[in-house]
Amino acid sequence: MIKDSNVPMAMTFPPLLVVLLLALSTGPLCDAIWLNIPKTGTKCVSEEIHSNVVVLADYVVVSVEDGQTATIAVKVTSPYGNNLHHRENVTYGRFAFTTEEAGNYLACFWSDNRTRGSGEVVVNIDWKTGIAAKDWESVARKEKLQGVELELRKLEGAVEAIHENLLYLKSREAEMRSTSETTNARVAWFSIMSLGICIVVSGLQVWYLKRFFQKKKLI
């Protein structure tokens, strides 16, 4: 039973510890993705990832509607179309890579033609990126970390990941701003050129009409 005398001590926790506990409780979670793959269709999942990020994913065939044994084919491509993982006639597997290009990474799943029956294939995908894909057990063994030290190490990794994401967003914002400024400049020059052409064409029309009326002795 907790004594009343311990309550004031609990109320005097340092703010840094409170922030640490909140950060750990709201850390990145990896939710599984469930795909219902039809007999003749393809289902894909994608994620926009910046460069130099670790991606780790496990996939497994969970069930088939008609109870038949099913196999699937998997293909993972980079934003530039490079093949990162390709397997056929499998019921489970894993792919892992470090991104070299920033953009949308696409993983597509489809049912093999060798699968019997006509039911849908249910596939479970555990997709992890960045800090969530790190093997913290190996880190703890290598650096001999335990308890709070390991949690602090995880928090440090989360902060670094957030910082990298902010830098990536900043660079993307700079690229978009540069593109917008370039587009605005081109539109401005096009508008000036169009106005100049209209003025020249109007002047030529006035000159032509004036010559025409002078030849006809109307003016």
Report field, pTM of the whole predicted structure over 0.95: no
Q: In the predicted model, is pLDDT for residue 201 greater than 90? A: yes
Please tell me the total count of domains within the chain.
1
Whether the CB-CB separation of 75 and 32 falls below 8 Å is answered with no
In a domain, 63, yes or no: yes
CATH number of the CATH domain containing 136:
2.60.120.380
Domain that holds residue 136: 34-150
The pLDDT tens digits for 70-111 are 889 999 999 998 999 999 988 899 998 989 888 899 999 998
In a domain, 209, yes or no: no
Whether the CB-CB separation of 78 and 33 falls below 8 Å is answered with no
The residue among 109, 170, 171, 105 whose CA lies nearest residue 133 is 105
Whether the CB-CB separation of 102 and 165 falls below 8 Å is answered with no
Confidence of residue 187 (pLDDT cuts 50, 70, 90): very high
Confidence of residue 12 (pLDDT cuts 50, 70, 90): very low
In a domain, 175, yes or no: no
Q: What percent of the chain stands above pLDDT 90?
A: 29
CA 126 to each of CA 93, 96, 201: distance values in angstroms, whole numbers, following the listed order:
11, 12, 65
The pLDDT tens digits for 110-143 are 987 655 555 788 889 998 887 777 766 776 677 7
